[in-house]
Structure 1
Amino acid sequence: MRAAALQALLICDADDKSRFVLNLPENMPCDTAQQFACPEGIPGRPAKPELVAPGKVGRRAMHTVEGRAVLLHALAHIEMNAINLALDIIWRFADMPPAFYTDWMKVAREEAKHFSLLNAHLRDLGFPYGSFSAHNSLWEMAEKTKADLTARLALVPRTMEARGLDVTPGLMQKLVQAGDLRAGEIMQTIYDEEIGHVEIGNRWYNYQCRKEGHDALAYYPVLSERYKAPRLRGPFNLEGRRQAGFTESELVWLQGQ
């Protein structure tokens, strides 16, 4: 499983990567102790989209087809990064319980499904993945935390991906109001399954904190400062975050930021 994850991570073509992940067999054997040399080319990515600073990613009016495509393209790029992130955590970090790798392969498969749904809809709109520029913030955090599993769990699924739980319901409503019912259906699927992905991140973050002797709540801001994570800003989807495993203490702390 872990070797297959690394193989998938190195695939450059976005559609080929998602198909490869979706076609991986269930219940693959997993050598939890194997150490891999880090190859060149991580992550494999296509020539397009062009990667630019976050503030330079284009925006368009939502009442136009192109405007909706710009938003959906940004979401597809997030899902492509999320595939890479799940694959990366599988091969990179050894000596975890087998369930850790099974959980993240499930995430990789569902992220590949999300990307495929979004890209199929983008093609129907006339703007397939690669039609617009994108930014690389998610993967940049993966690079920062490549030697620290606890930080990776704290700052990718529990911080950057959890932000999707806050913003997705509003984006879904805007797309439906603009008349794109198919996009709304896709976003609902993504939202429902992302709750589970963030829950997996929460669960394994807490596991790591127990193993290392950290208080999970107190250690989070330490890691956030150490790795210069984006500052958390509301409004927060408290119910969605509860479903994803955030404790009431964490939610109180979050609202005080």
Structure 2
Amino acid sequence: MFYKTLEEIITCDNIPQKFSMFNDLYKNINNFNFHSNKKPKIFKKPSYESFCKIVSPSQVPRRRGFESNEKKAILLHAIVHIEYSAIDLALDACYRFRNLDKEFYLDWLEVADDEIRHFKLINSLLEKTGYKYGDFPVHNSLFEASTKTQDLLSRMAIIPRWYEANGLDANEKIINKLSRYNDSFAKEVIEALKIILKEEIPHVKKGDKWFKRECKRLNLEPIQTYFEIVDNFFKDWKKKDLNVSARLKAGFSCQELKILNEKIEC
């Protein structure tokens, strides 16, 4: 019942209904059994396909400036899309990896709950610009990454420890750029981003925890294993800008940060 309900939530493309179904599941979490002998489905399309035009990353509108409502909406739409995708990714972790400790499901349902709140926060700002989610094209890189990470080790390495950790870096950069705009709406967006940044650190840390537990179970060295996985997914993975303090709080070691960017001091 737990996994069947998750499948229904993940594939639901009616956002209010999706959130309502999740709330029902989450408040009744102690009534579920996490044991299942059934294999999870590999989803062929993301739930947002019905209301978002999916294009390649190079065709997504460029985020340049914050002077007009359209420019504000383009930035906020990109963030809203990330938050929506993060909801399904957290739920997919619960759906895909079965018969684990209850702690695992509690962790990722908590993440999904946070991501729903983050989505609502940014979406309300997006709608103040006169636009809505689905008004701009989106890419499906996060969804594609989830289809390519069907084992727990690679999923935890690529989704939380790569993509979500990159979000810690990007969030800080956006806040710094928006600080140049001395208007009330920019300040509102900055405050929302600060909330998200603070709450995303524990999300990455949860991924770090389960990645390292899986490394221990498989008798693998975490740092070497992480970069081997990353190297299999990305051609160029060196980083220019890192949110060092946030990444350290999220479980990254100084050694890892120096591998990502040899100029880092920590």
Q: Same fold (TM over 0.5)?
A: yes
Cα RMSD of the aligned pairs, angstroms, is: 2.0
The residue type paired with residue 224 of structure 1 is V
Query: 1:174: Cα distance to partner?
Result: 2.7
> Is the 8 Å Cα contact of residues 68 and 175 (structure 1) preserved in structure 2?
no
2:104 — aligned with what? 100
Q: Specify every segment of 5 or more residues in structure 2 that has no aligned partner in the other structure, as ranges.
A: none
The residue type paired with residue 27 of structure 2 is E
2:53 — aligned with what? 50
String of CA shifts for 1:186-224, please: whole Å, max 9, x gaps: 111111110010000001000000001110001112212
Q: TM-score, normalised by structure 1?
A: 0.91
> Is the 8 Å Cα contact of residues 168 and 246 (structure 2) preserved in structure 1?
yes
Change in CA separation of 1:149 and 1:25 when aligned onto 2, cut-off 3 Å: closer
Q: How does 1:15-54 map to 2 (within 5 A)?
A: 15-26=16-27, 28=29, 29-34=31-36, 35-38=38-41, 43-54=46-57
Query: 1:40: Cα distance to partner?
Result: 5.9
Q: TM-score, normalised by structure 2?
A: 0.89
> Is the 8 Å Cα contact of residues 14 and 45 (structure 1) preserved in structure 2?
no
Structure 1 vs Structure 2: percent identity of aligned residues? 32
> Is the 8 Å Cα contact of residues 90 and 105 (structure 1) preserved in structure 2?
yes
Q: Tell me how far apart the structure 2 counterparts of residues 13 and 101 of structure 1 sit (CA, whole Å).
A: 24
> Is the 8 Å Cα contact of residues 231 and 237 (structure 2) preserved in structure 1?
no
1:252 — aligned with what? 258
Change in CA separation of 1:229 and 1:77 when aligned onto 2, cut-off 3 Å: farther
Query: 1:42: Cα distance to partner?
Result: 5.1
Match of 1:199 among 193, 198, 205: 205
String of CA shifts for 1:27-75, please: whole Å, max 9, x gaps: 5134232134527665322523211111111124322221111011001
Q: Tell me how far apart the structure 2 counterparts of residues 191 and 210 of structure 1 sit (CA, whole Å).
A: 29
Change in CA separation of 1:229 and 1:235 when aligned onto 2, cut-off 3 Å: same
Question: 2:113 matched to 1:112?
Answer: no
Paired residues in the alignment total: 256
Question: 2:11 matched to 1:10?
Answer: yes
> Is the 8 Å Cα contact of residues 83 and 111 (structure 1) preserved in structure 2?
yes
Q: Structure 1 residues 149-158 or 4-13, which shifts more?
A: 4-13
> Is the 8 Å Cα contact of residues 22 and 112 (structure 1) preserved in structure 2?
no
String of CA shifts for 1:98-154, please: whole Å, max 9, x gaps: 1011000000010111111111111111111011111111111101112x1100000
> Is the 8 Å Cα contact of residues 2 and 31 (structure 1) preserved in structure 2?
no
Q: Secondary structure at the match of 2:242?
A: coil
> Is the 8 Å Cα contact of residues 21 and 112 (structure 1) preserved in structure 2?
no
2:178 — aligned with what? 175
> Is the 8 Å Cα contact of residues 26 and 109 (structure 2) preserved in structure 1?
no
Q: How does 1:42-81 map to 2 (within 5 A)?
A: 43-59=46-62, 60-81=64-85
